Structure 1
């Protein structure tokens, strides 16, 4: 497992076999989630082409990034890295004048810490640099839960420039037959299996000019195997075909990508309006029950919608071998076995009572911690003694680790108490045999190759789906990414925890 970018040895820990595996991707994405029954929400609709980039803040000299990885070092030329910047981003300088150091003639100090090589290849001090201007226009949309649009490869070739028809025929051995199937589908005839889920609506004809980009703006990958995933930021029509501009500035034929529906499920912030206990509903709609005078429970005739939630009163009753939970939905009840009910610990990792007063043993920082259950499929986030967020997760298919085998062997999720050791706004995950999850959002390392991250390729929350990582929806992923410690500095794309200098969120994972 590796991230296919030169030098990303340690970062690869964020995106290893625990996260990327062929089995992660469902052939048919599930329908988008219903909104929770106690609230309504609407996911933003991604535009076909991005809006013009925001102008960099006029707050003094800045560094402008032209690479998918511009490493932030603690000192000029030091071997270790403490974070990285991303193509199209800019960050304020701490001092305007660069310094000479090992491996680079222009080391610049950036806010809030560290040094980056401004050699003109990976980063520049020139805001008018043509490559930077292009990359800024097509940078990830980090202000939304979905930095890109996403889909599944039907087996595609990637191109650095939009190819001529002759080049397409040369590199795509089945192009003639494939385009016949595309034309038939456009004429309303039954679709070939290879076109199931493919969006054949015309792309805009507005040209997209990339110009000359540095090699570090792209990943060295010329194809994506079937069922690998694709992330793109724009699309256009050229050379008789529709094209997607991938996250790493490569061109992919739109007619070879199955589009994933937006995953709109999300958990709930806990506060005055919503409190634990509550129940989520996974898999399918679940019957509501009413309690009769004789103590029996019968279906009420309506249902709790799949992926919705309801608050509970805390009262339960056993009847005829079933446990029923009373909800705050008009006195309706639900079978406990048909609900995902977060049941977090009664004490914090440092021994304070949850919901009570903190103790003198509380750690530094915001005292953030997260608790997750692998087998029950829930997660609760805390700030100090207060629960602040609850949702459903999709952990490893193999559940919890088996004695004598590694979690990677069994696709299980490690259990124990961990720290969030790295945060990456997007990270491409590469499994054996070149199976790819492109630009996975909101990735947070917690144990070796295992991470807590957003998953755009399924909508099966509360069930075990991954090769060992903890999947959350993109909306939940963004919320958790912004909640946890260490904080990602403004303008940065990735950050590593510095144990001697800052707190990190504790992540407790159990069965």
Structure 2
């Protein structure tokens, strides 16, 4: 059936200010670390060495490739988060002179850390808060309310709660929770351009408020909370596509009609909803009435043994294409492919597709995601993205989740401000649904360790290859 609620076209969430993107020496060993086991490209290796100690960072703690404070950076730690140390190493330019060797590679000065009893975890931690769903968008605009799950049962998807001042949501702000609870007047309103992040939701006698890291609070019903897409791509190792078939998704906002024969006059058998996953023949066939037109066959479209047909070459569906790996990529190497024509990203090992999903690349010639073969040279669990000062369309997005740079000011990253995956929408970045961004972040290099905020590529860990192309 068609969608019961129409997902707004791209122009709606552009007009609403919801679209966007990023145009964005030697040492004496105190205790030697034994070799560690191999790792998947995105994670720290599984250590065969017993952890020496667990510590926590007091600030954004730098990680260096060598135990020297003037050496090249390997990454950074999240303040307050715990991390494992597998060895202590003496080295220069460190308070106390003792460096900690880390399982994912690199060294951090232990003089600005402290012992911790908390189990280290991969970052980011996810916020237990139920943001609206895209299908609630219009009713939310009309009523200012949506069907929100309680915090204790909400499914964590994003690292923060995201919202903005927009339309009737004027976002009055109080400098502290105490000021709000005391019934004082608001001190200011949030600005209109930024997309804000909030670290927690707090229930109070006066209603729920969202708190920022600096202590400022905003009533939850006075700020526009971004609807977040729960869409996720297809794990083709767990659910492979039969030989001769291809993974596909519906991207028409109103859904697509499935016809009984490959021509526009054939009876409609069923309708498929926006972002519905399907499997089609790998090669489209000519229309039974016009050989210039192509149609995709959907095996067992309605019931087993009854096929259906949808037109090719339209904005109706996107199809994962079978393409050989670049010669620079090894036969067993993990790499990423981005097809601008189909708006499909796939994670591959050599020529085998492991995972595929819809994305949004740059919108139009001005913002086109640049074609080429790259390497992902850094990863951050989140980061601010801001337009240039002289930009015609200014934007400022706080704490964009799962950022993976492949070219200066271009990245793969999660998106909470639109749900148009399968359509170009960004200022040049490759936009992913939150679940897809999280999935990809954990599986591509450079490696990142527990408690880390950022990882930078190194000669030994150069980052995952990524190809951007048309068709």
TM-score, length basis structure 2: 0.70
* Match for residue 418 of structure 1 among 362, 374, 381: 374
| Matches of 2:465 and 2:383, distance apart in 1 | 22
Counterpart residue number, 1:324: 295
Contact 1:281 1:339 in 2 (8 A): yes
1:259 and 2:259 correspond = no
* Match for residue 480 of structure 1 among 434, 440, 459: 440
Counterpart residue number, 1:502: 461
Counterpart residue number, 2:274: 306
| Matches of 2:350 and 2:124, distance apart in 1 | 35
Match of 2:445, SS state, is: coil
Counterpart residue number, 2:69: 77
Counterpart residue number, 1:90: 82
* Match for residue 431 of structure 1 among 360, 364, 387: 387
Counterpart residue number, 2:152: none
Counterpart residue number, 1:41: none
* Match for residue 237 of structure 2 among 258, 271, 282: 271
Structure 1 vs Structure 2 CA RMSD: 3.5
Instruction: Give how far 1:298 is off.
Output: 1.4
Q: Structure 2 matches for 1:340-379, cutoff 5 A?
A: 340-345=318-323, 347-350=324-327, 362=330, 367-379=333-345
1:141 and 2:122 correspond = no
Q: In structure 1, list runs of 5 or more residues that go unmatched.
A: 1-22, 31-57, 174-223, 352-360, 400-409
1:150 and 2:106 correspond = no
Instruction: Give how far 1:258 is off.
Output: 1.0
Match of 2:441, SS state, is: helix
1:261-287 alpha-carbon deviations (Å, 9 max, x no partner): 231111101136332512211133101
Match of 1:507, SS state, is: strand
Instruction: Give how far 1:447 is off.
Output: 0.9
Instruction: Give how far 1:61 is off.
Output: 1.8
Gap change, CA 1:411 and 1:436, over 3 Å in 2 = same
Gap change, CA 1:91 and 1:458, over 3 Å in 2 = same
Contact 1:156 1:226 in 2 (8 A): no
Aligned pair count? 377
Counterpart residue number, 1:181: none
1:273-321 alpha-carbon deviations (Å, 9 max, x no partner): 33251221113310101118xx775142421110012101235223435
Contact 1:150 1:229 in 2 (8 A): yes
1:284 and 2:254 correspond = yes
Match of 2:386, SS state, is: strand
Counterpart residue number, 1:215: none
| Matches of 1:426 and 1:348, distance apart in 2 | 30
Contact 1:29 1:261 in 2 (8 A): no
Gap change, CA 1:303 and 1:127, over 3 Å in 2 = same
1:383-416 alpha-carbon deviations (Å, 9 max, x no partner): 12211111111111124xxxxxxxxxx2221111
Of 163-172 and 472-481, the range deviating more from structure 2: 163-172
Contact 2:259 2:310 in 1 (8 A): yes
| Matches of 1:435 and 1:163, distance apart in 2 | 32
Match of 1:164, SS state, is: helix
1:451-492 alpha-carbon deviations (Å, 9 max, x no partner): 011101111111111111000101111111112122222332
Counterpart residue number, 1:334: 310
| Matches of 1:394 and 1:270, distance apart in 2 | 21
Match of 1:439, SS state, is: strand
Gap change, CA 1:419 and 1:167, over 3 Å in 2 = farther
| Matches of 1:296 and 1:139, distance apart in 2 | 48
Counterpart residue number, 1:450: 410
Q: Structure 2 matches for 1:457-468, cutoff 5 A?
A: 457-468=417-428
1:380 and 2:357 correspond = no
Gap change, CA 1:141 and 1:273, over 3 Å in 2 = closer
Gap change, CA 1:451 and 1:159, over 3 Å in 2 = farther
Gap change, CA 1:139 and 1:168, over 3 Å in 2 = farther
1:303-346 alpha-carbon deviations (Å, 9 max, x no partner): 1110012101235223435321101223011111221112242x
Contact 1:312 1:325 in 2 (8 A): yes
Gap change, CA 1:491 and 1:387, over 3 Å in 2 = same
Match of 1:504, SS state, is: coil
Counterpart residue number, 1:18: none
1:126-152 alpha-carbon deviations (Å, 9 max, x no partner): 438xxx99xx9x973299642223223
